[in-house]
Structure formats: structure tokens, C-alpha cells
Structure 1
Amino acid sequence: MSAESPGPKGGFRSLFTNALRPKKSRQTLRKGSRSTTDLRLAACPSADEPPPMPNLAPLQMHREKYKQMHANVDTQLGERRDYTTMIHSLGLLDPVDSYGPTGELEDHREPGEGDIAKLPSRLWALIAWYLDPADAASLAIATITLYRRLGPRYFLSLDASQNLHYKLDFLARLDQSLPHHLLCFPCGRYHRRIQEGQERMRPAHVINPLFNCANAFNALNPAPRHRITHGRMLPYSFVQLVMRAHRFGPRYGIPVEDMGRRWQRDGWSFSSRFHIHEGRLMMRVTSQAFAPADLPASAQRILLFSREDYWPYFSACAHWRDGELMPACKCALGHIPRPRETGGLQGLEHKVKDRWKGSGFDPNALTTLCGFCRPMRRCPECPTEYLIEVKLSEDRGDSRPGVFRQAIVVTRWSDLGNGMSPQGLEWGAVNGKRDDYDAFAHYAKRGIASIFEAAFTADALPGQRVISLNPKKKKLGEKGNDWY
């Protein structure tokens, strides 16, 4: 080809110029046409017609709709509240107002001494014969006329040793008349309160008398009490004070809020709280201890059991040896994640494996328990429930700030009864002195933990599977070796 021909010029520079020049096909695609819509221009709103702003977001509108629909629904029971019925019930329960002729008759009712005197003494004696000694003595002390008809023989019968239970039952009915005294069950009599209004719970090694009693240090006739944890006892006198204040007024005892305590001992942290539900005192004790991973069996025993009496450090009822409480605690300790070894090239090896799997190792990850130790346990012989957890808690005893460690947490809920007598059903069952209690029959619809926690939170608690603490119903006690 000659130099005058119009063909392309050769050379290294012209080669790169032609290679970097855009093609005509690309320029053709960039041209706009009427059939092609520019999405960027279509997405931009016009300045003349701005889109209307909604009042609420769709999710917020959904929440407001159902919030109005369920405003009168009880979060615990799922029932709709009827405020009209509540107002009428408050009015009917008012002792000051009287409605209709019934209230007028009660206000102007004549005393019944004359009607009592019309009946012969033999008839009253026959009526008292059908009653137990406590009820017969209560009938005789009701009025002076009945006392003259029945005489003092029913009071003298209470001093018999076989009628000690009836005597305590009769004396417990006099609580409302004696606000400055407290019934002593070992003595069977009332004592004057020496710390009236200032009664506080103390550790077991601290002498804390509430009244002067001759049997205060009598080991053969001890005062009734319940073991909360290692080194902490709950005397029955405090149960009396709390329930008396709840029934009759603050001058009869102490408020239930003053019973709660926090303390530490032997590496464990404890917190207790009390609540009154339907005339019964309920207790919750939370026990927590930091636990390292991969503990051998001997180290688990040292962590869980006291060397003094071989009871658990955490709060437990009298039936803790029978069943699966301690095996469940040991199983929960086995789920604590083991930290990785980083000596030598092991740290680099773990990093390579994590990158290959596409996941990292988190030493502070949540611990998931298995189907054996996760469910809540209920003792079938007493009103007690347990929940075992493994949580990540802050170790404030460490010199370094913000150090978190795995800890085992055992929470116990118990029903301690109405505080009338230590021979009561709940108190006797919790202390192992009665065997006629069926926890699944008494709490068939709602658990003790649900009742207790519902008193302090307005939201419903998540469901928790409750199983028996002793599903095989074996009562081996000290002879069994699974508990240790």
C-alpha cells in the first residue's frame, strides 16, 4: 500500500489509539430513545406533586391497632377486664356502707346472750363434745354465758401432753388480741417481743432472740426453723411476724419487703425475696457460683457441697437427695464451654480451621443446656420448684474491669404456708416432716414460679416445661449415691 492511500497509519502509537477508541455499538446503546425509559429520571419525584407522607409507619399502625384492641386484657390470665364488676365489688366489700335492709338489721341486732341462756347446759356440753379440744375451748371463751355453761374443763384439757397440737392451735387464734406478744411453740405460750418493729433476719451464727424464752438454747426442744442455704436459717417466728402484719396490721409484725436479703459465702452469691399470695408466704432464693469448664467429679462435689454437713451450698428442700436434682446440676456444669488451648501453634491452627469453616470461636457465647438439665424441676413431695441455668456473669471480684465468666445459677421457689402453725401442710412438707403432700395436685394449673414472678412483672413469662424432681419415685436418702 502506498503512502498516499487513505488506509490506517501503521505504528505502535496508532495501535494503542485504535484499541482504546470506543466502539460505535457502545455509543449507540448510550443514545436515548422514546421507547427506552430512563429509570433514574422516573425514580425522582417531580417538584410539583410531592408524595403524601403517611401519619404512621405500617408496623406502628399495626401495633396501635392491636394495642387498642387488647388494652383491657389481662397479660397473665388472658381475660378481658370488666371495670364495672370491679367497681361494684369494691362497693360491696366496703364495711362502712350498708345496702338494703340487711345492713340495717346487722347494725341494730340485739345481743344473743338471752338466746344462749335459754338452752340448757347439757345441750351445750353435748355440742362441745362433738368438737375437738381447740374448738371447744374457743366456744367456751366466746361469751361469759357460754363459759358459765361449759366451765373451765375444756381449758384444762389443753394442758395434757397429747393435746399439745390443739393447744397451739387454740393459742394461734389469739394473735389479733396480742400485738405485742409472739407465740412460742416450744413453750406453748406467748412471750413479749423485745425487738418490736425492729426484727431483722441474721445469719445462723448470730444470736438474734425475738423474745426471752427458757427453751431458746434447748437442743432437745428447738424452735421450728427452715434451712435456706448453708449458714442461713429462716426461724418460724419471722414467718409469724410477716403473716400477722399482713392479716392484722403493721404493728403486729414486719412487712414482707424487709425479709429480702443478699449475701455471699464460700464463693457463692445469694439473694432471697418473699411474697404473700392468697394468705401464704412464698420464697425465692437465687444461688450463683462461678464454675470453670471441664471439672472432674471431685471438683464438682467441692463446688456444690458443703464440707460441714454435706448439703448443697444452694437452697434446697428436705427431699433434695431423692431424685435428679444433683445429677442435673452436674450435667449443667458439663455444658460449660471449654476454652481453647493457645500454646505454641495451636492458636494459629484454630484460626485456620475457623477460616476454613467460615465461623469464629466466641468464648463468651451463650451456653445451651440439654433436655435433661434444662427443664424446671418440681419436688413431688413439697411445694418447691427448681430452675438450673448456666449464665455469663460479670466477675466483680477480679481486678480487671469487665471480666465475664460462666456461672451456674440455681433458683428455688417454695411455698411456706400460712404461718399459723409449724404443723401446717406446706411448712411440714418443705421440712420433710409430712408425707401427705402432692405438689402436682395442689399446683396443677399454675406453677409456684409463675405465681411468684407474676407479682413483680406485668409481662407474661415464657413457658417452661416442668417435670418431676423424682420421676422414678425412689426414696433412698443417704443410701443413694447419685446425689453425691
Structure 2
Amino acid sequence: MDTTQDISESLGQLHLPARLAKPSLSPLLNLPPEILLLIASFLPLEPMGSLSLSCRHLYLSLKNEYLQPLKDADSNVMIAFLQLLERDLPLHIVCPQCNKLHFTPLAQRYQVSDPYNYTDRAKWPKCRAIDDLGRWSDNMTPSFSSAIFLMAMKAHRQDKDTTVILNLLSYSDVDDTSRSFAELHTSSARIRNGSLLMRDQRVFMFPAPLRIPLSVCAPFGFCAHNSLSNLAHLPRCGIHVPSADEIGEYENKEGIIYCRYCPTEIRIDFKSYGKDGTAVFVTRWMDVGEGRDMEDVKWKVRLGRFDWLRDEHSYARGAICAAFEGTDDFRFESLLNEEDEIDLITMCPVSWPEYEEVTDDEDEEGYVVKDGRLVSLPEEDSMCFCIHDD
């Protein structure tokens, strides 16, 4: 397993220049200070600040007159200034949340922490705190970091190997705290066609046979525009939950369900493990974007505070899944290895808890899956759980 030092050294190799060129003296050094100040007076704050950092002579000539206004400027001006600097700093990215430059070899500093460890929260950079908000809202994978996302995309655009940095966005955890099920949650990232794609999968292992209707509280994430976020919502949203007699020959009737307002896809599958249990697979794919435009809806909508944002582009059903997997024939159980299955079966409760109340009456459907979208039934006028497609 790589140590922190090994990972930092690997990240530092991403942008090492072949050879540093010997700097040449600028002809600006021959100008008197009065002329330099006159030139600076015609420049916007951002390029003026960049010019002042060209050499010590320019900095000393301009700092008293012009650098303080730059420090006092609003965040948009500072971001534009940092973007000018970033062009010549291959090991740095501009963080729009922190209004600072972040150093790629120290990418591990921006990893999301254990969700129950708050001892160092006061020391977190602002971007990490915002990412944490997105994680709690389930709009993003548990390990997503905006800073690491930007670092990975910059390295990709420079044709560097992004394996090490993308691994920092991976996640795997088994949870047996529920009395009704054991859960395996995994996530990973890949760059396809210039965009960062994320896939996460939750596997819920229940005691066999599965209780119908499935009313247990088992949360998962879809997107900010869709409230289908719990296994208890499945009957309500028209997603078929197979009975014990059906699950042996189960086939997914709904297929991939996708959001009309952001590039997010999800599918829900079931698999019987005989007497050992019944598994529910919830797999999600997301396109986070290129990391170029800090106002890109693909990325911004994942942050937890922008659920009102909508991407006006149209997305073909299944396109994100196919791009991530490299095939149109995704096998939901293929992500599990033998060790994962053993862990889930071992941690799964032997039987359903006594307190779990299940009625014999099936929930009335309020929605139906039509061509990959959740469509409200015309006669239904009760509480809305999902996206309307009308």
C-alpha cells in the first residue's frame, strides 16, 4: 500500500518539466519607475498583479500603489488573477471556493475525511467543507473532492498519467450498523472524452426472503433534482420489487433511469443468494464535467447548495454508463468480488428484526418508469417523490 510520501512523490511527477530554461532579463527593467507606474495605471487589476510578480524590481515599483487594491478586490477579480498565475504553474490549480492556489503533490490534504471524524474540521479548507455538504446530501460520491477533481483534469489536459490522483477519489466501505441489512458502498472515477465520470454502487444485503413491500429505510443518492433516494420509495415510484417466487428469474424491467436536468443515471437490480440473503444493487453514474468552467452546472449542482440549477443540454439514456464502463452491456454484479460477497453475507442479519412492520397492502403507485424517466401518473395528486416529466 502506498504511503503518503509515495503518493505525494507520484503526484509531483505529474508535471515535472523536462528542463528549466534560463530566464532572460526583461527590457522593462530599463524603464524608470515613473513609466512603469504609468503603464500599470492602464492595466486592469488582474494583469497588473501578474506583472508585478514578474521580478523583484517590478514588485517593489508597484506594490505600494497597486497591490493593495488587488488584495481588497472581490472574489471574481482574485480568481481571474489566480488564473493568470496558474498558466505558468503546472503543479497548482485555482480553487474557486478557497480563492487560493492548491498544490497538486499535496492532494491528499483535500481528501474527504471519515464522515464521523470532526476533530480537525476547523482546519479544513473551505472547498473541503463544501464537498462534505455535497456528500451528506448524497448528490456526490463519499470521496469526491473538488480540488482533486480540478487537479486530475488539469493533469489529463497535459497528457499526464492520472491513475494515482484518480485513485484518491475512490471509496470502499462495508457497513453492518443496520438491523435489517448489511451494505457495501464503493465508488471510482474515470476520465472519458475530456470529462470526469463517477460511478458509485450500494449493495444492500437483506435476510432471505425479501419482505414485500420493501418498506425498510435504506438511503442512497440519485441527484439534486430527484427525491428517489431510499429503497422504501421503490414501490411508490413504480419500480418493481421481485417477490421470493420471482427473484430466481429476475430481469430488470426499468433499466437505466436518468435525470432530465443533469447528467446522472441510476439503475436498481436484485439478486438472490439463496438462503444467505437477497441483494439490492443501486448503481449510479455521473458526469462531473471538464473542470474548466467554474460555473459549469455539471459540477456545481453536485455541491449540495445548488439543487435549483439545471443543465439545458440533452443526454442520451445510458450514455454515461456506456462511456464509463466501455460497453453497453453492464453487469451490475460484476463489481463484486468473492471477498465482498462473503463480507456481505457474513454481516447480514440472520432474520428480519421484529420491530420491522410490513403491511399486506401494497403502496399505491404514484409514478411509472417510461423510457428511463419517472413520469407522474395522471390520476395521482398526492405528495411528490420524484421528477415530473410534464
> Same fold by TM (over 0.5)?
yes
Q: CA RMSD in A?
A: 5.4
Q: Which amino acid aligns with 1:320?
A: N
Amino acid at match of 1:430: R
Q: 1:218 to 1:245 in 2, by over 3 A?
A: closer
1:411 matched to 2:276? The reply is no
- Matched residue of 2:152: which SS? helix
- 1:160: Cα distance to partner? 3.7
1:276–1:218 Cα change, 3 Å: closer
Residue of structure 1 in register with 2:4 after alignment: none
TM-score normalised to structure 1 length: 0.48
Q: How does 1:390-429 map onto structure 2 within 5 Å? A: 390-394=269-273, 403=275, 405-419=277-291, 423-429=295-301
Structure 1 CA distance for aligned equivalents of residues 71 and 262 of structure 2: 32
Query: 1:203 and 2:114 equivalent?
Result: yes
Cα distance in structure 2, aligned partners of 1:425 and 1:186 = 15
Per the alignment, do residues 218 and 135 of structure 1 end up closer, same or farther by CA in structure 2, a change over 3 Å counting? closer
Matches within 5 A, 1:327-366: 327-328=233-234, 330=236, 334-339=240-245, 364-366=248-250
Q: Which of 223, 227, 238 in structure 1 is aligned with 2:135?
A: 227
- Does residue 260 of structure 2 align to residue 380 of structure 1? yes
Q: Which amino acid aligns with 2:142?
A: R
Asked if 2 retains the 8 angstrom alpha-carbon contact of 1:413 and 1:448, the reply is yes
Structure 1 residues 276, 167: closer, same or farther in 2, change over 3 A? same
* CA distance, structure 1, for counterparts of residue 95 and residue 296 of structure 2: 16
The unaligned stretches of length 5 or more in structure 2 are 1-17, 19-23, 331-368, 377-381
**Shift in alpha-carbon separation, 1:150–1:445, aligned structure 2, 3 A:** farther
TM-score under structure 2 normalisation? Answer: 0.57
Counterpart selection for 1:295 from 212, 234, 241 = 212
Match of 2:220 among 299, 314, 318: 314
- Output the CA distance in 2 between the equivalents of 1:189 and 1:233: 21
Q: 1:386, 1:412 within 8 Å by CA — same for their partners in 2?
A: yes
Please tell me whether the aligned partners of residues 229 and 314 of structure 1 are also in contact (alpha carbons under 8 angstroms): no
Contact 1:241 1:252 in 2 (8 A): no
The answer to whether the 8 A contact 1:413-1:449 is kept is yes
Q: C-alpha displacement at 1:259, in angstroms?
A: 2.8
CA distance in 2, matches of 1:112, 1:467: 63
Aligned to 2:149: 239
Cα distance in 2 for partners of 1:251, 1:367 equals 39
* Structure 1 Cα separation of the partners of residues 56 and 40 of structure 2: 14
Partner of 1:205, secondary structure, is: coil
**2:267 aligns to what SS in structure 1?**
strand
Which amino acid counterpart does residue 453 of structure 1 have in structure 2?
Answer: E
User: Aligned equivalents of 1:384 and 1:295: distance in 2?
Assistant: 28
The equivalent of 2:306 in structure 1 is 433
For the residue of structure 1 that corresponds to 2:248, the secondary structure is coil
Counterpart secondary structure, 2:187: strand
Residues 48-102 of structure 1, C-alpha deviations (whole Å, 9 max, x = no match)? xxxxxxxxxxxxxxxxxxxxxxxxxxxxxxxxxxxxxxxxxxxxxxxx9xxxxxx
The 2-side partners of 1:444 and 1:293 are apart by 33
In the alignment, residue 148 of structure 2 is paired with which amino acid? Answer: F
1:91-114 CA deviation, whole Å, 9 max, x = no partner?
A: xxxxx9xxxxxxxxxxxxx99968
Q: Per the alignment, in what secondary structure is the counterpart of residue 234 of structure 1?
A: coil
Is the alpha carbon distance of 1:122 and 1:255 closer, same or farther for their aligned partners in structure 2, counting shifts above 3 Å?
A: same
The answer to whether 1:264 aligns with 2:174 is yes
SS in 1 for 2:298: helix
| Letter of the 1:269 counterpart | L
AA paired with 2:124? A
Contact 1:197 1:251 in 2 (8 A): no
Shift of 1:416: 2.1
**Secondary structure in 2 aligned to 1:167?**
helix
Of structures 1 and 2, the one with the larger relative CO (CA 8 A, separation 6+) is 2
Structure 2 Cα separation of the partners of residues 171 and 252 of structure 1: 23
Q: Deviations over 1:181-226 (max 9, x none)?
A: 77665553357789667986543123697xxx9653989x944443
Asked whether 1:450 is paired with 2:358, we answer no
Q: What is residue 89 of structure 1 aligned with on the other side?
A: none
Q: Please show how residues 13-162 of structure 1 align to structure 2 within 5 Å.
A: 128=43, 134=46, 137-138=49-50, 155-160=67-72
Residue 10 of structure 2 corresponds to none
Structure 1 residue 482 corresponds to structure 2 residue 355: no
Q: Distance in 1 between matches of 2:109 and 2:158?
A: 18
- Aligned residues with identical type, % of pairs: 19
* In structure 1, distance between residues paired with 2:257 and 2:93: 36
2:75 match: 164
CA distance 1:380–1:365, change in 2 (3 Å) = closer
Q: Rg larger in 1 or in 2?
A: 1
Q: 2:363 aligns to what?
A: none
Consecutive unaligned residues in structure 1, runs of 5 or more: 1-95, 97-109, 305-312, 340-361, 395-401, 473-478
Q: In structure 2, how many angstroms separate the alpha carbons of the residues matched to 1:195 and 1:414? A: 26
Q: Distance in 2 between matches of 1:325 and 1:148?
A: 63
What per-residue deviation string (whole Å, max 9, x for no partner) do you get for residues 396-448 of structure 1?
Answer: xxxxxx7564432221111223446765432212235275542543x459822
Q: What SS does the corresponding residue of 2:321 show, helix, strand or coil?
A: helix
Structure 2 residue 165 is matched with structure 1 residue 255 = yes
SS in 2 for 1:203: coil
Displacement of 1:174: 3.9
Which amino acid in structure 1 is aligned with residue 197 of structure 2? M
